[in-house]
Structure 1
C-alpha cells in the first residue's frame, strides 16, 4: 500500500504541471515589435516565431487604446487585460506593473505595451531563455527571446528608426533586421502583423487597418511582406470602388491603376479597371484588357452580363453584346 501511495505522490504533480503548462502557457519564444506612426497615429504590433499560429497567441490591439505583445512562456491574458487597464487610463508602465505584480510566473514573461500616445513599457523576465532582451525607443519597443544572437533587438530598433514609409513598412524593416541577425535559434514558421487606428471610430470593422497572418511557412517574414503588398493593392481597389460609386471615374481609374502596379498578375484588378473604362465610354481602351481576361477565363463574360442588373455597368444591350463578342 505504501508503494502505491509513494508512486501517486511522485507522479501526480508531473501530470498536473504538464496539463497546466500546455493549456495556459504556450511555449512561444519569438521576436516582436510594438510601434506607433507619429503622423497617422496608427498603432501596430508584429511578430515572427518558430511556432504555429504565433499571431493568435502573441499580438493584441484596440483602436484608440494601444497594442500588446506577450511572449516567451506566454500568459495570453496580458493582451486583453493590458488593453483593458490602458483603456481605463493607466499608462503602459502602470498597466504592465499591475499585471506583473500578480503573476507568479513573471520571471518567464516577455511583454511590451504601447498606448495611443506612443508611450511604451517592456519587461524581459530573468528566466527567459537566452538570448533575450528588449529595447525601447520613441513610439516603439522591440523584444526578443531564445534568439541565436544577442544582437537581434538592437538591430530591430535601429532598422525601425532608420526606415521610411508607412508603419507596416517600418515594422517589416525591423522584422527583416531580426532575420538578418539569424533570429530565433530554432528557425522560422509563422508571422503576423496587426495595425489599428490611433482614434477609434466606434466601429470595429473600420478600426482595424491591417490584420495579416502567416500560420505555417518556410519563410514567414518574406511571405508577410508579400501579403502586405497585396493588402496595399486591395486598399487601392477598395478606394477605387468608392470613387466609382460616387461617380468620380477619373479618380477611380487612377486608384485601379495603382492597385495593378502592386499586383499586376491579378485578373480581377484588371477587370474592374476595364469595367470602369466601359462606364466612361472608353471602349477602345477597355477592349484589349477584356479580350485578354476573357481568353484566360470565360466566366468573366458571365459576370459582365450580371453587372447590368446590379447597375455596376452602364451600357446599352447593343454595347453589351459587342463586349461579349470580344
Structure 2
C-alpha cells in the first residue's frame, strides 16, 4: 500500500503543471469506446473525431493492464499515467480519481479507463461542450462530447451489447451507431482502433492485437472498417506463413484460402496460395493461378526461383522450368 501511495504522489508531482488547462491543448471533441472481450480477455479502445490523427492523442493501451481514451480538451498525460497507476494495482476508479483531483482543467476533460478485469471508470467534465455524456456497461464504457444529438452514447452502448462477433467487430458496430445518430456536430475526419492482449506475453511485439489509424478521410469509419477487414485477412496470411515455415503446407493452404476470401482482389494473397499448392504437389491447380498472376505482373515470376533458393518452395529443377514457362 505504501508503494502505491508513493507512486501516486510521485506521478502527481510530475504532472500537476501538465494537467492545468491550456488553450493549446488538442481540441479533440469526439466519441469513443473502451471495451473488453470477456472470452479472449483482449481490451480495445476506438475513437472518431473531426480532428486530424485523432488516434495519436486519444487512444492508449497496454497488454495485461488496460486501455484509456482521453478526449474533449485533451490532456494526453491521462493515457500513460493512467496505465501506470492501473499497472501498479489501482482500480480504474482509483486511478482516474487521482488524476482528476490534481487537474485544474478537469471540467473540460472526458476520460475513460478500463482494466484487464473489465472494470471501468469514466469522467465527463461539467464544461464539456454539449451534447456530452457517457454510459457504462459490463466490460465497456462509451463517451461522447460535442455531439449533434444526446442519443449518441446510448446508441453506442446498445450496439456494443447486442452485436455478435469479435471485439473489433463489436467496437466497430458501436462507432457506426454513433454515426447513425449524426455523431460529431462538426462532421468527421479521422478514426482509430487499438486492441491489446488481456495478458502480457513478455514480448511487447506480440502484445498488440490491432493498431489501425485513419488520419484524414471523408468517411473514416467506413475506411476503418475496410482496414479491419484487411487486417483480418493478413492475420490469416501471417499464420499461413508460419505454417509454411513449419512445414505444415496443408494448414498453410487452408489459411491462405481464408485470407483470399476476405481480400479476393489481392494478387499477393493469390500468389502465396498458389506457391503453397505447388509445395503440396498440386501443380495443375496452381498453374492457372500463377499464369494469371504472371500476366499481370512478371515480377512475381522472377520471385519464384528466389523462393526455391531460400527453401520456401521445394520443387525439382524440371518443375521450376515448367513454372517459369507459364
Specify the TM-score bucket, using the shorter chain as the normaliser.
over 0.9
SS across alignment from 2:23: helix
Residue number in structure 2 paired with 1:77: 77
Describe the SS at the equivalent of 2:122.
Answer: strand
CA distance in 1, matches of 2:36, 2:157: 13
CA RMSD of aligned residues (A): 0.9
Task: Summarize deviations over 1:276-302 as a string: whole Å, max 9, x none.
Answer: 011111100000100000000001011
**What residue in structure 2 maps to residue 42 of structure 1?**
42
CA distance in 1, matches of 2:53, 2:310: 39
Instruction: Quote the Cα distance in structure 1 between the aligned partners of 2:47 and 2:183.
Output: 11
Q: Distance in 1 between matches of 2:300 and 2:252?
A: 20
Structure ID, larger Rg: 1
1:94 aligns with 2:94: yes
**1:95-110 alignment runs, 5 A limit:** 95-110=95-110
CA distance in 1, matches of 2:267, 2:107: 52
What is the CA deviation profile of residues 25-44 of structure 1, one whole-angstrom value per residue up to 9, with x for unaligned ones? 11000000000000000000
Could you say which residue in structure 1 is the equivalent of 2:233?
A: 233
Q: Secondary structure at the match of 1:31?
A: strand
TM-aligned CA deviation for residue 192 of structure 1: 0.2
SS of the residue 1:311 aligns to: coil
**Matched residue, 1:14:** none
Q: How far apart are the structure 2 equivalents of 1:212 and 1:304? A: 32
1:236, distance to aligned residue in structure 2 (A): 0.3
Distance (Å, rounded) in 1 between the aligned partners of 2:28 and 2:282: 55
CA distance in 2 between partners of 1:305 and 1:182 (Å)? 54
- Give the TM-score normalised by the residue count of structure 1: 0.93
Cα distance in structure 2, aligned partners of 1:244 and 1:304? 15
The number of residue pairs the alignment matches comes to 306
**Shift of residue 20, structure 1, vs aligned partner:** 4.8
Gapped regions of structure 2 (runs ≥ 5): 1-20
Partner of 1:27 in structure 2? 27
Partners of 1:214 and 1:135 lie apart in 2 by 25
Deviations 1:47-87 (A, max 9, x none): 00000000000000000000000000000000000000000
The answer to whether 1:169 aligns with 2:154 is no
For residues 256 and 279 of structure 1, the distance between their equivalents in structure 2, rounded to whole angstroms, comes to: 13
Counterparts of 1:304 and 1:230, CA distance in 2: 25
- String of CA shifts for 1:232-266, please: whole Å, max 9, x gaps: 00000011111111111111111110000000000
C-alpha distance in structure 2 between counterparts of 1:114 and 1:201, whole Å: 19
SS at match of 1:164: coil
TM-score (norm 2): 0.93
Name the SS of the counterpart of 2:70 in structure 1.
strand
Secondary structure of 1:141's match?
Answer: strand
Counterpart-to-counterpart distance in 2, 1:115 and 1:197: 11
Question: Which residues of 2 match residues 237-256 of structure 1 at below 5 A?
Answer: 237-256=237-256
Question: Which segment drifts farther, 38-47 or 316-325?
Answer: 316-325
In structure 2, what is the equivalent of residue 134 of structure 1?
Answer: 134
Give, in whole Å, the separation in 2 of the partners of 1:202 and 1:79: 21
CA distance in 1, matches of 2:203, 2:56: 22
Q: Shift of the alpha carbon at 1:21?
A: 2.4
Show the counterpart of 2:299: 299
